[in-house]
Amino acid sequence: MPPHDLLPDGNRRGRRWAKLASLIVLITLLAVVPPAMNSYDQYLITLTLVYAITTLGLNVLIGWTGQLSLAHAGVFGLGAYLSTILIQHGWGFVPSLLVAGLGSAIVGGLVVFPALRFSGFTLAVASLAFASVIVQLFDNGGSVTGGGGGLAVPVFQFSGLSQTMSTYYVTLISTVLCFVVAHRMRHLRFGRVAFSIRDTEIAAVVSGIRVVRYKVFVFAFAAFLGAIGGALYAQLETFIFPVMFSTNTLVLMLVMLFLGGASSLYGPIFGAIFAVVMVELLQSFGSYQDLLYGLLLMLVIGVLPGGMASLPERLRTSHLLGRAVRGVASRFGRGRQDEATAASPVPPTATGSSLVDDPGDGVESGVA
Amino acid sequence: MPPADALAPERTGGGGSDPVLEVRGVTVHFGGVSALTDVTLSVDRGSVTGLIGPNGAGKTTLFNVISGLQVPNSGVVVFEGRDLARVRPHRRARLGIARTFQRLELFGSLTAEDNVRVGLESSIRWWQWHRLRASFPWARDEAGDGARATGSRVVGLADRLLAGVGLAGHESEQSSAMPTGSARMVELARALAMQPKLVLLDEPGSGLDEHESEALGSLLQRLAADGMAVLLVEHDMELVMRVCDRVHVLDFGHIIASGTPDEVRADPRVQKAYLGASAGSAPAAGGDV
Ligand SMILES: Nc1ncnc2c1ncn2[C@@H]1O[C@H](COP(=O)(O)OP(=O)(O)OP(=O)(O)O)[C@@H](O)[C@H]1O
Ligand SMILES: [Mg+2]
């Protein structure tokens, strides 16, 4: 049993409050600081949040449930196009955002049909084909989608705020909502079931889980998040065209997913920060930037196969660094521990009486 | 094809037997290979029934047929008087058929406790959210510091089940990091969490040491005494002969003998099948009765 479980209960509760408080501080900072930034930085920070929402969708699909579906860039585009077209037809921004999300959940949820038959590589190819059909529709949609030339996005604006800041605030609120929902899902039954399906679907089935129903929900939910991201992305870029939703975008999403840490809840945020910050920093290297980006990617994946979200865990388990970090951590309490062993802080003494009778005769206690 | 009368519901009360599961005339082909040929057997409520046979005899295939993972080419599976032909695997689980796997199938990224919780919660429908609520993390806090572990009903049940298979104190270990013996017990606890009427155990004793398999034996007998039906596939003959009320012997997909452990052991066909396969695993080898 890891040592943190031996901490007194008061300490653990204190950590939870500390975690909540620091989240509130972070969100407050994100609300009050950006107005003072220049508009390019405002753009970058909004882009980071948009990427985080989008990658969260991919994470639920691939990282949690283990469905290697690659239609996400297409679904992202679907959200962008649907919301833009709705706004062009006189819809308000928020309704169009929600309807684009729900509509894409239905369309993107269709990928579940190949997913019920195939898994792994076959599903990857089938879903990739699905995404390219969607992008073909953007390309050949005539005046509705603007074809290869794309669509100008009517940008939503709060009175008294710039366009970028209006988009920023809507994005911030969406990010918080999406992550709160995902957090609850992960720590309740849904999360356990998703991981069960990923680990061994056969055992999930014989444990009475309706795998089909869960998969339908997972694909729809992932598409919903992807489409919300896409709709916000359209607002941010103010102009959309089919190439923006090509396989390159998918690769970027996969990079953010695996770099941030697939299967971790907050991994997508780290991945999004990495993607945005790196592209900006490397811009000054001119023609070498792609090369450097690739090298950096390899380096991070090599050092942290579990993604950036696994860094604290990695520090804890590595010998030398670990001792130093543990020393510091014991002074300040460790926030991220809750992530790994969430919802199971059972004191070792609390066994209760055996449901299946006499605990003294239990299988392993018989050995001791 | 099995004869027509084998398909008719059979309600002979002779001998006071009370079958919870009846398998009638089940045949399974994989391409040219016949894994099962016209297999008929029954499992009584409140008993431990053994299913033994040499490697490749078709034991795991029969488990797959019963739990719905393998559709038989012919034959029927009747559970509590109900033909399961059109019942999908997850429904069979909810009706009360739980199983473990020969090749461990644990939810490796989850803790032992969460593995069991998946089994416990699978029977909760979404409209019974108030029951689900008991598994919310904060439900534990509301119960106050002292009762934290049992404040939540689901968590408390999961921990009791784990204690029941001898894993008290291992609740928050990640299951993929557990030794084989413990992992098998987590799988067993997960199966028991569904409160099954019939539990299918595919070589639960492999990977256990002598003491552990002895404890497993008495656990199985207690489960049977509580009214559960246990169908046990096991290569450890000592265990089989000690705990089973009845034993069926499969050989090349055919049931070649059925009866009490003593009858089966005395059967010349069984001895031939085992001696033909390998003398070391003959059912008589480890018997101490
Ligand atoms: N999916 C499959 N496809 C093809 N053949 C199969 C399949 N599953 C099992 N078989 C074959 O069916 C026969 C019975 O296999 P099964 O696994 O049921 O035996 P078993 O009694 O469980 O053996 P063991 O003691 O080794 O576990 C074997 O000949 C096996 O090769
Ligand atoms: Mg087998």
pLDDT value for A233: 97
CB atoms within 10 A of CB B210: 10
Q: What is the 3-state secondary structure (H, E, C) of B163-198?
A: HHCCCCCCCCCEHHHCCHHHHHHHHHHHHHHCCCCE
CB pairs under 8 A between A and B: 188
Q: Which of B148, B173, B190 is the last residue of a domain?
A: B190
Q: For residue A195, which of A177, A212, A173, A214 has the smallest C-alpha distance?
A: A214
pLDDT band for position A330 (cuts 50, 70, 90): low
| pLDDT on residue A364 | 35
Tell me if B63 is assigned to some domain: yes
Whether residue A91 has pLDDT greater than 70: yes
Pick B285 or A265 by higher pLDDT. Answer: A265
Lowest mean pLDDT among A286-295, A317-326, B47-56, B214-223: A317-326
Q: Is B202 within the bounds of a domain?
A: yes
Handedness of CA A87, A88, A91, A92 (dihedral sign): positive
Q: What is the CATH number of the domain that holds B90?
A: 3.40.50.300
- My answer on whether B40 and B170 are in the same domain is no
Does pLDDT of A216 surpass 60? yes
3-state secondary structure of A91: coil
Which of A2, A9, A361 minimises the CB distance to B215?
Answer: A361
B203 & B287 share domain: yes
Asked if the structure places residue B104 within a domain, the reply is: no
Task: Calculate how far, in angstroms, residue B50's C-alpha sits from the geometric centre of ligand 2.
Answer: 13
Query: What pLDDT score was predicted for residue A217?
Result: 92
Residue B3 lies in a domain: no
Select from B107, B152, B162, B216 the residue whose CB has the most chain A CBs within 10 Å, as the one to mutate to test that interface.
B107
pLDDT digit string, tens, across residues A43-77: 999 999 999 999 999 999 999 999 998 999 999 99
| All residues at 6 or more sequence positions from A361 whose CB lies less than 8 Å from its CB, including other chains | B215, B218, B219
- Do B181 and B203 have their domain in common? no
pLDDT 10s digits, A21-42:
988 999 999 988 888 889 899 9
Residues B115 and B249 grouped into a single domain: no
Which structural domain, as residue segments, surrounds residue B202?
18-96+196-289
Beta pairing partners, B254:
B251
Q: Which of A52-61, A239-248, A335-344, B79-88 has the lowest mean pLDDT?
A: A335-344
Distance, CA of B122 to CA of A122 (rounded, Å): 29
- How many Cα atoms are found within 13 Å in the side-chain-facing hemisphere of A67? 35
pLDDT of residue A345: 33
For chain A, give the percent of residues with pLDDT over 70.
Answer: 82
Report DSSP state, residue A224. H
Bigger pLDDT: B289 vs A207 = A207
Is the beta carbon of B188 within 6 A of some atom in ligand 1? Answer: no
Structure tokens at A219: 């694909």
Decide if pLDDT at A363 tops 80: no
Neighbouring-strand partners of residue B246:
B49
Q: Which pLDDT value is given to residue A325?
A: 56
B127, B160, B190: which is the final residue of a domain? Answer: B190
d(CA B277, CA B275): 5
pLDDT number for residue B98:
95
Q: Residues B47, B230: contact at Cβ < 8 Å?
A: yes
Phi first, then psi: what are they for A239, rounded to 5°?
-150, 130
Q: What is the pLDDT of residue B289?
A: 34
Same structural domain, B164 and B252:
no
Going by CA atoms, what residue is nearest to atom 5 of ligand 1? Answer: B30
Residues B16 and B39: beta-carbon distance below 8 Å: no
Between helix A39-58 and helix A247-260 the angle, nearest 10°, is 80
Instruction: From the CA of B70, give the closest atom in ligand 1.
Output: 1
Same domain membership, residue B170 and residue B85: no
pLDDT of residue B67: 96
Nearest to residue B181, comparing CAs of B148, B155, B205?
B205
Amino acid of residue B120: L
Mean pLDDT taken over chain A: 82
What are the tens digits of pLDDT across the range B248-271? 999 999 999 999 999 998 888 888
Instruction: Tell me: do B173 and B232 sit in the same domain.
Output: no
Q: What is the mean pLDDT of residues A316-324?
A: 61
Residue A318 and residue A331: Cα distance in Å, rounded?
Answer: 19
B202 shares a domain with B92: yes
ipTM: 0.82
In a domain, B9, yes or no: no
- The CB-side HSE value for B250 (13 A sphere, CA atoms) comes to 30
If one residue of B30, B37, B62, B71 were mutated to test the ligand 1 pocket, choosing by the most ligand atoms within 8 A of its CB, it would be: B30
Instruction: Decide if B284 is inside a domain.
Output: yes
Last residue of a domain, one of B172, B190, B208: B190
Q: Are residues B71 and B205 in the same domain?
A: yes
Give the per-residue pLDDT at A3: 43
Helices A163-187 & A9-32 angle (0-180, nearest 10): 160
Question: What is the mean pLDDT of the segment spanning A172-191?
Answer: 92
DSSP annotation of B283 reads T
Alpha-carbon dihedral sign for residues A164, A165, A170, A172: positive
Do A150 and A239 touch, CB atoms closer than 8 A?
yes
A205-214, B131-140, B156-165, range with greatest mean pLDDT: A205-214
Mutation choice for B interface testing from A65, A195, A338, A356 by most B CBs within 10 A: A356
Q: Tell whether B5 is covered by a domain.
A: no
pLDDT in the model for residue B16: 53
Rounded to an integer, the average pLDDT of A293-318 is 78
Q: How many domains does chain B have?
A: 2
- Asked if residue B251 and residue B136 are part of one domain, the reply reads no
Q: Which residue of B has its CA nearest to A264?
A: B109
Q: Is the CB of B12 under 6 A from ligand 1?
A: no
Q: Which domains does chain A have, with CATH numbers?
A: 19-314 (1.10.3470)
Do residues B200 and B289 both lie within one domain?
yes
Predicted pLDDT at A350: 30
Tell me whether residue B80 is in a domain. yes
Same-domain check for residues B285 and B201? yes
CB contact under 8 A, B214 and A354: no
Cβ burial, residue B82 (10 Å; 0-12/13-18/19+): exposed
Task: Name the residue facing B145 among A9, A196, A358 (closest C-beta).
Answer: A9
The predicted pLDDT at position A195 comes to 95
pLDDT tens-digit profile of B47-58? 999 999 999 999
